[in-house]
Structure 1
Amino acid sequence: MKDLKHFWQRTAWLRYLLSGVGVVLVYGWALRGLQVDLELLRTSVPYVVDFISRLFPPDWSVLDVAGKALVETIQMSLWGTTIGAILSVPIAVLSAQNLAPRWIQLFANLLQNLVRSVPSIVLGLLFVAATGLGAPAGTLALGIYTIGYLAKFYQEAIESVERRSLEALEVSGASWLQVAQYGILPQILPLSLGYTLYMFEYNIRAASVLGVVGAGGIGFELVSYIRGFEYPKATTMMLVLWVVVTVIDALSSHLRRRLEAD
């Protein structure tokens, strides 16, 4: 055993070298598959510059439209995140290795993977077909999209709970509900709230993408202006969204730090 340990220590440089070669080969393979045309990139630079130049200066006359669309976007994100968070809790519990039987875990994890494999834009199209254009479709799409990620985050939080504290409660005769209430919930609550805040912040950006398929919010106005070649108005929409996302990012980061400190 000692000889084997010494062998691995002496050949550490060889393992690092082989790992480096492996990484280079993988990235080389990926780059080859991209089929990047450097000449095309070079000749397309003037067109990119021309497009960017058409975006400026911003047209501030649409600030009132941007404000209304932004409020709708925040409302969509708030309700979509809340719906997704509520539905994620039972799925996360059924997915956790330290709570659910193996066969239920497999089913719940398959459900998570299924939801995550559907792009948000496809969910938007689905609910636009079901409810029509507007914010309701976007809200439902965000709710389902949120489940795929928050359920996984909640599951990992549950699985990271200290097992000894749960065993102590079980030995003292606590029921399953009491174990969850006094052993699991206090440990996962700050982390889970932090994940939920992060998802709310992310959903505001995702809601702008859903506007492409008519699912309401500021993204709908943004796409409408771009399709109408009204680029300065589109720039105003993007700037307003950028400011709001920055503010919400700062606020949610502050709240997450407070939760972790508590």
Structure 2
Amino acid sequence: MKKNFVVWWKRNGWARWFGIGLSVVLVYGWALQGLEINLDLLRDSWPNIIDFLVRLWPPNWEILDVAVKALIETVQMSIWGTTIGAIISLPIAICSAHNLAPKWLQWIANFLQNAVRSVPSIVLGLIFVAATGLGAPAGTLAVGIYTVGYLGKFYQEAIEAVEPRSLEALRVSGASWLQVAQYGILPQVVPLSLGYTLYMFEYNIRAASVLGVVGAGGIGFELVNYIRAFEYNKATTMMLVLLVVVTVIDGVSSKLRQRLERL
């Protein structure tokens, strides 16, 4: 009976798609039920949302110099944080790749990556603020550790996507582990990994801004202070400056990633 059902299931593609569609509907229905959305509350909240948006305009350009200075600090935090994270991520990725490391080492490295990813960036910011005090050093360290959880996984995926036949050919020819990594893995992994690193740097600009909420420096710190003081026009200036810089960095980063992909 079970065998007949399996054969029928494989032959009837529509049944598989129907089952997948039904599963998706059930999952989204379950998730929507858990949200407990109050439509009446959403409808009545529109005046408050509009009132808040009106208070944000027009921006106060008198603090433009403060915004630029804070933004420069945010970019500096992101540069160092991404670099620190990339350096730490590389050995962790090597240890977690199934085509390079033994099972026990993979388990430890993957557990470490998952542990870092499970800690929100805000919590990391609080930890390092407690350790180093308010300011950019705490934000830089928080961004660096936060980066490890993601770049480590990205690097691991890049290493595991390496063409296995090229590695096997090197091993058969008598190449050492170091030579296999140097001539078989690095040429294939470096362009993709650099692209991932650029993407993470771009993302860390935003992450560093959020860390300002807990006093970890950068433009986020100034932004939160203005919002808490109900100086919404100044907060708008901060957000607009951040928007311009993030847009420019996104465009430059995309162009660089495209060139790396063609290498």
TM-score, with length taken from structure 1: 0.97
2:140 corresponding residue in structure 1: 139
Output the aligned Cα RMSD: 1.3
1:102 corresponding residue in structure 2: 103
Distance 1:11 1:260 in 2: 40
What displacement does 1:9 show?
A: 5.9
Give the letter for the 2:55 counterpart.
R
Distance 1:179 1:57 in 2: 60
What displacement does 1:6 show?
A: 7.4
1:71 corresponding residue in structure 2: 72
2:59 corresponding residue in structure 1: 58
1:21 corresponding residue in structure 2: 22
Confirm or deny: 8 A CA contact 2:85 2:145 kept in the other structure.
yes
Give the letter for the 1:236 counterpart.
T
Distance 2:29 2:242 in 1: 37
Distance 1:101 1:85 in 2: 22
1:40 corresponding residue in structure 2: 41
Unaligned runs of 5+ in 2: none
SS, match of residue 123 in structure 1: helix
What displacement does 1:175 show?
A: 1.1
Distance 1:172 1:18 in 2: 49
SS, match of residue 66 in structure 2: helix
What displacement does 1:13 show?
A: 1.8
1:215 corresponding residue in structure 2: 216
SS, match of residue 161 in structure 1: coil
Confirm or deny: 8 A CA contact 2:215 2:221 kept in the other structure.
yes
2:197 corresponding residue in structure 1: 196
Give the letter for the 2:166 counterpart.
S
2:160 corresponding residue in structure 1: 159
Deviation per CA, 1:197-221, whole angstroms, max 9, x where unpaired? Answer: 0000000000000000000000000
1:84 corresponding residue in structure 2: 85
% same residue: 75
TM-score, with length taken from structure 2: 0.96
What displacement does 1:15 show?
A: 2.3
Q: Which moved more, 1:10-19 or 1:155-164?
A: 10-19
Label 1:10 to 1:91 Cα distance change in 2 as closer, same or farther (>3 A): closer
Distance 2:166 2:20 in 1: 40
Distance 2:5 2:175 in 1: 48
Distance 2:11 2:193 in 1: 44
Label 1:15 to 1:196 Cα distance change in 2 as closer, same or farther (>3 A): same
What displacement does 1:14 show?
A: 2.3
Distance 1:232 1:16 in 2: 52
Distance 1:92 1:168 in 2: 23
Confirm or deny: 8 A CA contact 2:143 2:208 kept in the other structure.
yes
What displacement does 1:171 show?
A: 1.4
Aligned residues: 260
SS, match of residue 100 in structure 1: coil
What displacement does 1:121 show?
A: 0.3
Confirm or deny: 8 A CA contact 2:227 2:235 kept in the other structure.
yes
What displacement does 1:167 show?
A: 1.1
Distance 1:260 1:85 in 2: 19
Deviation per CA, 1:135-158, whole angstroms, max 9, x where unpaired? Answer: 000000000000000000000000
What displacement does 1:10 show?
A: 4.9
Confirm or deny: 8 A CA contact 2:9 2:15 kept in the other structure.
no
Confirm or deny: 8 A CA contact 2:154 2:196 kept in the other structure.
yes
1:252 corresponding residue in structure 2: 253
What displacement does 1:5 show?
A: 9.0
Deviation per CA, 1:215-235, whole angstroms, max 9, x where unpaired? Answer: 000000000000000000000
SS, match of residue 129 in structure 1: helix
Give the letter for the 1:115 counterpart.
V
What displacement does 1:90 show?
A: 0.4
Unaligned runs of 5+ in 1: none
